[in-house]
């Protein structure tokens, strides 16, 4: 839960594994060496890792949190998989081909891949699974991921037929199906790497409840057992024919409710790896000689949103000046070093370093750097347009259960000291209460904490969900209700782009608009942090912050 309240890590996919050593590099030199030595002595030891109790049965389209997410991700293959750089590679698909305006895709599957129950993975395994997930009768938490497929709205209406199928999906033959989209999407071939798009076997529909407790696998691991509140056991899937090379005999997810307890177990040698670091150890884990620490830039972007409704902060000249002034008034480096112990990276854009399309040199990225002089100047300019009342506080609301207190207090001080205005950080006890208020738009005259972990490794996941007009007014995560037709238009162009590079260029242009309008102020990229016991090799965390399980190995 702690994890959920900090960042709900939705999607995922195991990175390209040891086989693609080039793609999975990035480790320190010593780690690289350990990795290669371990791959020679490939063994069948089971690795125990920190886990938490899945919030829902292990059904791909109903798993939107990391506890269940990392399990579901490890046992399911998707059309594409992602390497360590977040780049998509074909997995179950041999080709995903779009038409001219990217509204229709033809998907061809590779031969010979099977579910762990022995049945073949066919076109129907996908179309049926996606339709089932999109059907409102099944109440799937990830159903909105299918929103762009034609026929989705019909399946979301009250009284939709229980066995209704998405009209946009057509099976051509066993190995081929077509997808009709409601609007162009150049990132569709990336999106299908998200766990909710996993194929499901025929047996799933006979008893979905039983499946959720004992799922069939299509990935590098097969499910062995789930003892609730105690352990989820996965074993190497010997019938798996994909590209991921598994270096261990299986993964045991030991359930912890408190990461501090899990960290103590890694220190004591009772647990092999942990994918997060408790607050109490954040300053010490990289130098702790009882463990091997891991600390690399990740994909989570921490921000705070300034709603358009906030007085003096509207989307106009005065508002833009003030938003930029606030951003430049924040001494992010000091806060990251002092409060986060250096476990974050200063932002330069609206995505994150682990994402293809991330950029350090966008026009206007200076607005994300501490500059007291310019901040004061911009604030004064805005005051010339309309005066900020001397007794008014700039208020920032955050949830107190995610460990954000020190950072927000520090921000308030930084703004106070730089701009000479009143600034306060206001805590709300729980994440659930906080999100409830945000959804009700209760903070219309205060800034509030926001964070994003992408659903698929593309700038689109950050931009479309958080800043597009279509996601405003309660239709998505654009909680500040930011609307800019120019920005929307660039996203639309990117959706029709012919390839990922072209799309990413357009996304970057769109981000340059955001750097001026500043609908939300980026604070830092949260690092992926983890630790493993002394005798464990190959711990790396993927773009989705999940460990690359297949790479873990251990000396007895």
Partner 1 sequence: MGKYLLRRILQMIPVVLGTTLLIYALVFALPGDPVAAMFGDKPVNQAVAAQIRSEYNLDKPFIVQYVLFLKNALTLNFGNTFAGQPVISVIGRAFPVTIKLALMAFVFEGIFGVIFGIIGGLTKGKWSDNIILVLSLLLISVPTFVTGFILQYLFGVKWKLLPATAGANPGFIDLLMPAIVLGSVSMASIIRLTRTEITSNISEDYVRTARAKGMSNRSVIMRHVLRNSLIPVVTYLGADIGGLMGGAMITERIFNIQGVGNTLYQAILRGEGTLVVSIVTILVLIFVITSLLVDLLYAVLDPRIRYA
Binding site for partner 1 (CB under 8 A): 1, 4, 7-8, 10, 53-57, 64-65, 136-137, 139-141, 143-144, 156-158, 209, 212, 227-231, 254-258, 260-262, 264-265, 267-270, 290, 429-436, 439, 450-452, 455, 465, 471, 475-477
Nearer CB in complex with partner 1: 433/489:
433
Nearer CB in complex with partner 1: 420/429:
429
Nearest partner of 196 among 65, 54, 108, 6, judged by Cα: 65
Do 51 and 39 form a contact (C-beta atoms < 8 A)?
no
Do 71 and 253 form a contact (C-beta atoms < 8 A)?
yes
**Shortest distance (Å) from residue 228 CB to partner 1:** 6
Residues 6+ apart with CB under 8 A from 366: none
**Shortest distance (Å) from residue 49 CB to partner 1:** 13
Do 76 and 219 form a contact (C-beta atoms < 8 A)?
yes
**Shortest distance (Å) from residue 325 CB to partner 1:** 27
**Shortest distance (Å) from residue 258 CB to partner 1:** 5
Nearer CB in complex with partner 1: 196/362:
196
Nearest partner of 352 among 506, 463, 275, 489, judged by Cα: 463
Rounded CA separation 191/75 (Å): 18
Task: Give me 382's structure tokens.
Answer: 């805005």
Nearest partner of 188 among 106, 284, 282, judged by Cα: 106
Nearer CB in complex with partner 1: 21/442:
442
Do 82 and 15 form a contact (C-beta atoms < 8 A)?
yes
**Shortest distance (Å) from residue 57 CB to partner 1:** 5
Q: How many other CB atoms are found less than 10 A from the CB of residue 94? A: 14
Task: Give me 90's structure tokens.
Answer: 């074909």
**Shortest distance (Å) from residue 401 CB to partner 1:** 8
Residue 556 burial by Cβ neighbours in a 10 Å radius (0-12, 13-18, 19+): exposed
Nearer CB in complex with partner 1: 157/387:
157
**Shortest distance (Å) from residue 181 CB to partner 1:** 19
Nearer CB in complex with partner 1: 373/556:
556
**Shortest distance (Å) from residue 221 CB to partner 1:** 20
Nearer CB in complex with partner 1: 231/372:
231
Nearer CB in complex with partner 1: 281/345:
281
DSSP string, 12-64: --PPP-GGGTTTT--S-HHHHHHHHHHHHT---PEEEEEE---SS-S-GGG--
Nearer CB in complex with partner 1: 188/452:
452
**Shortest distance (Å) from residue 114 CB to partner 1:** 28
**Shortest distance (Å) from residue 116 CB to partner 1:** 22
Rounded CA separation 65/379 (Å): 40
**Shortest distance (Å) from residue 455 CB to partner 1:** 8
Nearer CB in complex with partner 1: 20/147:
147
Residue where the block lists tokens 């045991």: 252
Do 352 and 300 form a contact (C-beta atoms < 8 A)?
yes
Rounded CA separation 129/60 (Å): 10
Nearer CB in complex with partner 1: 196/355:
196
Helix, coil or strand: residue 137: helix
In 330-458, which ranges are continuous DSSP H helix?
332-338, 372-385, 405-419, 431-439
Integer CA distances (angstroms), 1 to 227, 289, 530, in order: 18, 29, 17
């Amino acid at each position: 839960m702690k994890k959920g309240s900090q960042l709900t890590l939705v999607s995922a996919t195991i990175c390209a594994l040891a086989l693609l050593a080039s793609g999975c590099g990035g480790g320190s030199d010593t780690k690289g060496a350990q990795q290669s030595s371990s791959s020679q002595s490939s063994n069948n030891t089971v690795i125990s890792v920190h886990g938490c109790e899945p919030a829902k049965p292990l059904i791909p389209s109903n798993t939107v949190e990391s506890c269940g997410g990392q399990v579901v991700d490890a046992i399911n293959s998707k059309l594409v998989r992602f390497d360590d750089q977040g780049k998509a590679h074909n997995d179950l698909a041999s080709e995903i081909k779009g038409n001219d305006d990217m509204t229709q895709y033809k998907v061809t599957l590779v031969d010979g891949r099977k579910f762990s129950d022995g049945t073949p993975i066919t076109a129907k395994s996908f179309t049926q699974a996606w339709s089932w997930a999109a059907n409102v009768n099944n109440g799937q938490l990830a159903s909105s991921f299918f929103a762009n497929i034609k026929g989705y709205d019909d399946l979301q209406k009250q009284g939709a037929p229980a066995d209704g199928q998405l009209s946009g999906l057509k099976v051509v033959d066993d190995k081929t199906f077509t997808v009709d989209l409601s609007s162009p999407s150049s990132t569709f071939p990336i999106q299908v790497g998200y766990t909710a798009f996993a194929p499901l076997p025929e047996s799933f529909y006979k008893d979905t409840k039983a499946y959720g407790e004992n799922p069939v696998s299509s990935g590098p691991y097969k499910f062995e057992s789930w003892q609730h509140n105690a352990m989820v056991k996965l074993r190497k899937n010997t019938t798996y024919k994909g590209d991921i090379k598994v270096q261990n005999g299986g993964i045991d997810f030991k359930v912890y409710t408190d990461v501090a307890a899990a960290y103590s177990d890694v220190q004591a040698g009772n647990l092999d790896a942990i994918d997060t670091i408790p607050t109490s150890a954040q300053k010490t884990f990289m130098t702790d000689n009882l463990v091997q620490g891991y600390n690399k830039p990740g994909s989570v972007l921490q921000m705070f949103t300034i709603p358009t409704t906030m007085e003096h902060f509207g989307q106009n000249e005065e508002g833009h000046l003030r938003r930029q002034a606030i951003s430049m008034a924040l001494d992010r480096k000091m806060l990251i070093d002092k409060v986060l112990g250096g476990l974050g990276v200063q932002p330069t854009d609206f995505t994150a370093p682990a994402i293809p399309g991330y950029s350090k040199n966008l026009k206007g990225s200076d607005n994300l750097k501490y500059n007291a002089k310019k901040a004061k100047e911009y604030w004064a300019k805005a005051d010339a347009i309309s005066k900020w009342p001397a007794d008014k506080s700039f208020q920032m609301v955050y949830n107190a259960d995610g460990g954000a207190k020190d950072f927000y207090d520090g921000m308030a001080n930084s703004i106070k000291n730089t701009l000479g205005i009143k600034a306060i950080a206001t805590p709300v006890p729980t994440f659930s209460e906080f999100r409830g208020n945000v959804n009700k738009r209760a903070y219309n005259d205060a800034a509030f904490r926001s964070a994003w972990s992408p659903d698929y490794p593309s700038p689109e996941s950050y931009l479309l969900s958080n800043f597009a007009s279509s996601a405003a007014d309660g239709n998505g995560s654009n909680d500040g209700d930011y609307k800019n037709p120019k920005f929307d238009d660039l996203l639309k162009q990117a959706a029709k782009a012919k390839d990922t590079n072209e799309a990413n260029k357009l996304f970057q242009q769109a981000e340059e608009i955001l750097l001026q309008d500043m609908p939300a102020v980026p604070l830092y990229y949260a690092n992926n942090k983890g630790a493993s016991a002394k005798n464990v090799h190959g711990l790396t965390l993927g773009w989705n912050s999940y460990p690359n399980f297949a790479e873990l190995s251990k000396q007895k």
